Amino acid sequence: MAEEKYETHEYDVIVIGAGGAGLRAAIEASAQGVRTALVCKSLLGKAHTVMAEGGIAAAMGNVYPEDNWKVHFRDTMRGGKLLNNWRMAQIHAEESPERVLELEEWGALFDRTQEGLILQRDFGGHRYARLAHVGDRTGLEMIRTLQQHAVHKGLDVYMECNLQRLLTDGGRISGAFGYWRESGKFILFKCKAVVLATGGGGKAWKVTSNSWEYTGDGVTMATDVGADLMDMEFIQFHPTGMVWPPSVRGILVTEGVRGDGGTLKNTEGNRFMFNYIPDFFRAETADTEKEADAWYEDKRNNRRTPDLLPRDEVARAINSEVKAGRGTAHGGVFLDIASRRPADYIQRRLPSMYHQFKELADVDITKEPMEVGPTCHYCMGGVRVDADSTATTVPGLFAAGEVAAGLHGANRLGGNSLSDLLVFGRRAGLYAAQYVKSFSGNASVNNDQVENYARELLAPFEAKGGENPYTLHQELQDCMQNLVGIIRVDSELRQALEKIAELKQRLRNVTVEGHRQYNPGWHLALDLHSLLSFAMAATVAAIERKESRGGHTRDDYPNPDPKFAKVNVVIRKTKEGLSVTQEPLPEIPEELKKLLEEQK
Amino acid sequence: MAGQEVHMRVWRGDVTGGEFKDYRLTTGEGMVVLDVIHAIQATQAGDLAVRWNCKAGKCGSCSAEVNGKPRLMCMTRMNTFQPGETITVAPIKAFPIIRDLVTDVSFNFEKAKSIPPFKPKPKEADGTRRMFQEDIDLVQEFHKCIECFLCQNVCHVIRDHEENKKAFAGPRLFVRLAALEMHPLDTNDRMDFIKQKAGLGLCNITKCCTEVCPEHIHITDNAIIPLKERIVDRYYDPVARILGLFKTGTKDK
């Protein structure tokens, strides 16, 4: 029996991933009175949420009283090029203020307004200053608050424990299987429901802001047990990552730099974003430098600076400037706040950016411009979920945060991720608990399934092929960077598919040295399984969408196509392989549709 | 130092013992120590164990002792060493070894569980929470902690005295306790905990923790000493205790 052979724990709900979504889900499930465990690959508090800088988008109206959920809903939908699941966008906009205030009840200390309320900052695509923040380390405040709250609630946490496979019984979730990183020993969880909060797959790209953890585990585990994926073609390249020196290429530079007055310039000294205002945003975007600069102080009489267009627009613009020969020698453009704001303001508002550039690039951002360029940052697509409950198409499986698809459509607005984690993390915990309570059957663990998984996970120690997992990972990153990057074209996407298929073959020959105890080579070999599945799904979806929209730009189909405005690309695993279909977007109710059209 | 060959000595081993192993490789422009460790992993020692996440000094995962100094590997530039200098990388000393550069830091997480939690006072009459920036600046400084545990690592009370770990929480937890104690909304009383369980009295304010903090938190001056003063006020000095009621920043209990 698997339960006797391996360390086994039994819970009602297992939450996989301990970033904002996982922590919030576990807190909620536990509060609902079901036995809950939180399982994470790193130490608690180190998930990528900790790196989020800018803030949490929530229409609290503390700075602009005219802000409300309807405006936030509209901004989110338009930022996502209207491909968002409208119901998720509505729930998100309605509930995020409450979730931010809840953090304050749990001890978070956001920066304050003169009146003593939570201060809100400007960010791309948001009509009003909307992001609750703590300088440029909002994610740290959020994860620490949630972490401490969870710990004080007595939640069971399994740290440095990597769950690799989901177990099912008659199509329902019955558990999860993986290993302890420290000892390499297997661990089996028996449970009725699993919440995936595993983040995205950004580590498949070479220039990325993502850490080693973002290997597409959740997406892969979900498809392997039959869940649908959606919108996998939409990858967000954050416009401002560090570009120099090479060892730090890709590390994030917060959009808060532009929110606080920074502007993008090419090597000719021009604020080039004024040349890249798309028709879709023309009515709400300033077309002179004077108006753009005045907007920071007076939003009622001025339109938003094009420096703060949604991220997909800015990333493409930077890409075009560099291609046109107006980029820096290192392939970036300048981001200048030094000439626009006083040094003490910059240090107060952006302390960690100041520190990061000073320490890693010898650049003093209060005196010189930064050099920046696009970096792979976020996956809009992921596991398809029910808008209200976060339930996937597999009974007992829920997903929240970056691993889930729908809220952000074709492009996510900055600040909408942290709020997403809180709003849908809570809902995932709530509905997983409800599912458990209403499920009277018995979900049992299938021994053969477990034994198969155990064999798969140990295969790299047996294989004799001599392939190096690090080499395979580098080849995948080069492939995705060069062939499935910001600008895509059919021939290159197909080339990428061939390369991914080749790497999948070679993965069987990966050999790892050493033993099972804390062995990063082995861990990477196992992560390659999910990285490759993720990369395959992203590429297949990118081939299917023959248009340009949000975080998916096709050189061979450079414009949006009204036909594709009405569909999501859905991927599921069948016996024959991956099936790719176009499925209609849910119909948006009339009263919400009106909100999108209003230009005021 | 880009393009130069460097000589690294990295500690390899586990709980049963280990030794420094030599690696030679060529560095690239702007590399930090963590990049070099990753390069060793990718080309020479696939199983070299190391913790890391953000690679930008924000998560506090990659703490180690580089040439004997407690550092975040991701924020230690290779060009800060002399050309030709041998660079040693060892796991942080205060915690039990797991493998290579990875240590068992569960001590810190266990101690965190025992801290009396945040307990906010009731909301304002209008349902809001009003706090002013100048009243939270200091606590926000404490909230900058990235839990790299370098302060714990250099604290004499536990670095060389395993036996003290039971009765001593260490600088990281003192920062956490100070953050809670000085939080304008908090009403919980942790004075007994700080004195009895966290063992604040064992700290003899040598400031080693402050010196290594990568977030430049004034651990000793802003967290530990004010907590010590509160303990004195509460337990030892009735006059100061009464005067203490009028000090700014002292919380209503």
For the cut 80, the answer to whether the pLDDT of residue A446 exceeds it is yes
Residue A424: which region, alpha, beta or left (left: phi > 0; alpha: psi -120 to 50)?
A: alpha
How many structural domains are present in chain B? 2
Contacts of A522 in chain B (CB under 8 A): 47
Nearest in space to A312 (alpha carbons), one of A472, A84, A592, A552 = A552
Query: Do A55 and A138 form a contact (C-beta atoms < 8 A)?
Result: yes
Domain range for residue B83? 5-103
Q: What backbone torsions phi and psi does residue B76 show, to the nearest 5 degrees?
A: -110, 105
Note whether residue B63 is domain-resident: yes
Query: Do A396 and A193 form a contact (C-beta atoms < 8 A)?
Result: yes
- Tell whether A50 lies on the interface with B, counting CB pairs under 8 A: yes
The predicted-structure confidence for A294-332, as pLDDT tens digits, reads as follows 999 999 899 999 999 999 999 999 999 999 999 999 999
pLDDT value at residue B237 = 73
The CATH number of whichever domain residue B93 belongs to comes to: 3.10.20.30
For residue B253, what pLDDT band results from cuts at 50, 70 and 90? very low
Query: Do A122 and A259 form a contact (C-beta atoms < 8 A)?
Result: yes
**E strands present in A135-230:** 156-158, 161-169, 172-180, 186-190, 193-196, 229-230
Same domain, B145 and B89: no
DSSP 8-state symbol, B198: S
**E strands present in chain B:** 5-14, 17-26, 63-66, 69-72, 86-90, 97-99, 102-103
pLDDT value at residue A599 = 57
Question: A447-584 sits in which CATH class?
Answer: mainly alpha
Same domain, B138 and B206: yes
Same domain, B32 and B114: no
Measure the CA–CA gap between B13 and B23, rounded to whole angstroms: 15
Interface of B with A in 18-77 (CB under 8 A): 28-32, 35, 41-43, 45-61, 75, 77
Same domain, B65 and B163: no
The secondary element (H helix, E strand) that includes residue A314 is helix A311-323
Note whether residue B249 is domain-resident: no
The secondary element (H helix, E strand) that includes residue A294 is helix A289-295
Same domain, B110 and B176: yes
Same domain, B88 and B138: no
Number of neighbouring beta carbons within 10 Å of residue B83? 9
- Tell whether B131 lies on the interface with A, counting CB pairs under 8 A: yes
Provide CB contacts within 8 A for A485, sequence distance 6+: A205, A237
- Tell whether B129 lies on the interface with A, counting CB pairs under 8 A: yes
Mean pLDDT of B105-115: 97
pLDDT value at residue A440 = 86
Nearest in space to B35 (alpha carbons), one of B67, B68, B2, B60 = B2
Same domain, B182 and B81: no
For residue A3, what pLDDT band results from cuts at 50, 70 and 90? confident
Sheet holding A120-121, edge to edge: A56-57, A131-132, A120-121
Note whether residue B250 is domain-resident: no
**CB distance B118–A106 less than 8 Å?**
yes
For residue B243, what pLDDT band results from cuts at 50, 70 and 90? low
pLDDT value at residue A258 = 96
Query: Do A363 and A334 form a contact (C-beta atoms < 8 A)?
Result: no
Give me the residue from A43, A470, A521 closest to B61, CB to CB: A43
Same domain, B99 and B112: no
Nearest in space to A466 (alpha carbons), one of A412, A507, A427, A436 = A507
Same domain, B96 and B118: no
The secondary element (H helix, E strand) that includes residue A579 is strand A577-584
- Tell whether B231 lies on the interface with A, counting CB pairs under 8 A: no
Q: What is the CATH number of domain A238-375?
A: 3.90.700.10
Query: Do B146 and A140 form a contact (C-beta atoms < 8 A)?
Result: yes
Note whether residue B206 is domain-resident: yes
Nearest in space to A585 (alpha carbons), one of A169, A143, A121, A80 = A80
Nearest in space to A573 (alpha carbons), one of A223, A229, A231 = A223
pLDDT value at residue A443 = 84
Give me the residue from A101, A140, A471 closest to B58, CB to CB: A140
Nearest in space to A143 (alpha carbons), one of A210, A68, A43, A217 = A43
Measure the CA–CA gap between B39 and B42, rounded to whole angstroms: 5
pLDDT value at residue A548 = 97
**Beta bridge partners of residue B14, listed in sequence order:** B17, B99
For residue B236, what pLDDT band results from cuts at 50, 70 and 90? confident
For the cut 60, the answer to whether the pLDDT of residue B251 exceeds it is no
For chain A, report the end-to-end CA distance as a whole number of angstroms: 65
Query: Do A365 and A357 form a contact (C-beta atoms < 8 A)?
Result: yes
Note whether residue B132 is domain-resident: yes
Runs of H (alpha helix) within A373-489: 416-438, 447-462, 469-483
Tokens matching residue B145: 């902690």
What is the torsional sign of CA A545, A546, A550, A556?
Answer: positive
Which amino acid is it at B216?
H
Query: Is the backbone peptide bond immediately before A245 cis, with ω within 30 degrees of 0?
Result: yes
Q: Is A250 helix (H, G, I), strand (E, B) or coil?
A: coil
Note whether residue B253 is domain-resident: no
Nearest in space to A17 (alpha carbons), one of A384, A402, A383, A458 = A402
pLDDT value at residue A2 = 77
pLDDT value at residue A600 = 46
Which amino acid is it at B203?
C
Nearest in space to A121 (alpha carbons), one of A261, A266, A293, A260 = A260
**Which residue among A238, A349, A377, A427 is the active-site one?**
A238
pLDDT value at residue B2 = 65
Measure the CA–CA gap between A304 and A294, rounded to whole angstroms: 9
Which amino acid is it at A313?
E
Tokens matching residue A51: 């790196």
**Beta bridge partners of residue A196, listed in sequence order:** A16, A399
Tokens matching residue A228: 């649908």
Note whether residue B252 is domain-resident: no
pLDDT value at residue A30 = 98
Q: Of B61, B87, B103, which residue is a domain's last?
A: B103
Tokens matching residue B242: 């009464």
Domain ranges of chain A: 238-375, 447-584
Tokens matching residue B147: 């839990």
Query: Do A222 and A425 form a contact (C-beta atoms < 8 A)?
Result: no
Say how many CA atoms lie within 13 Å of A344 toward its Cβ. 0
What is the torsional sign of CA A427, A428, A433, A434?
Answer: positive
Q: What percent of chain A has pLDDT over 70?
A: 99
**CB distance A470–B46 less than 8 Å?**
yes
Q: Is A39 helix (H, G, I), strand (E, B) or coil?
A: strand
Q: Is A490 helix (H, G, I), strand (E, B) or coil?
A: helix
For the cut 90, the answer to whether the pLDDT of residue B247 exceeds it is no
For residue B36, what pLDDT band results from cuts at 50, 70 and 90? very high
For the cut 50, the answer to whether the pLDDT of residue B252 exceeds it is no
Which amino acid is it at B140?
Q
The predicted-structure confidence for A36-81, as pLDDT tens digits, reads as follows 999 999 999 999 999 999 999 999 999 999 999 999 999 999 999 9
Give me the residue from A151, A213, A519 closest to B113, CB to CB: A151
Query: Do A19 and A49 form a contact (C-beta atoms < 8 A)?
Result: yes
Give me the residue from B54, B75, B185 closest to A211, CB to CB: B54
Which amino acid is it at A563?
K
The predicted-structure confidence for A158-200, as pLDDT tens digits, reads as follows 999 999 999 999 999 999 999 999 999 999 999 999 999 999 9
Mean pLDDT of A233-262: 95
Nearest in space to B118 (alpha carbons), one of A146, A429, A112, A158 = A146
Which amino acid is it at B218?
H
Note whether residue B176 is domain-resident: yes
Query: Do A132 and A100 form a contact (C-beta atoms < 8 A)?
Result: yes
Instruction: Please confirm, yes or no, whether A238 is among the known catalytic residues.
Output: yes
Instruction: Please confirm, yes or no, whether A126 is among the known catalytic residues.
Output: no
Mean pLDDT of A420-435: 98
Q: How far is B3 from chain A (nearest CA, A)?
A: 13
Same domain, B129 and B19: no
Tokens matching residue A270: 């021009």
Same domain, B207 and B239: yes
Measure the CA–CA gap between A120 and A133, rounded to whole angstroms: 7
- For A529-563, b/e burial (b = at least 16 CB within 10 A) is bbbbbbbbbbbbbbbbbebbbbbbbbeebeebeee
For the cut 90, the answer to whether the pLDDT of residue B241 exceeds it is no
Q: Of B75, B103, B131, which residue is a domain's last?
A: B103
**CB distance A252–B180 less than 8 Å?**
no
How many beta-carbon pairs below 8 A join chains A and B?
A: 165
Tokens matching residue B25: 């490789």
Q: How far is B161 from chain A (nearest CA, A)?
A: 25
Same domain, B117 and B239: yes
The predicted-structure confidence for B195-218, as pLDDT tens digits, reads as follows 999 999 999 999 999 999 999 999
The predicted-structure confidence for A368-384, as pLDDT tens digits, reads as follows 999 999 999 999 999 99
Q: Of B60, B85, B103, which residue is a domain's last?
A: B103
Q: How far is A360 from chain B (nearest CA, A)?
A: 7
Tokens matching residue B76: 């230690």
- Tell whether B113 lies on the interface with A, counting CB pairs under 8 A: yes
The CATH number of whichever domain residue B178 belongs to comes to: 1.10.1060.10
**Full DSSP string of B120-180:** BPPPPTTS-----HHHHHHHHHHHT-----HHHHH-HHHHS-GGGGGG---HHHHHHHHHH
The secondary element (H helix, E strand) that includes residue B34 is helix B33-43
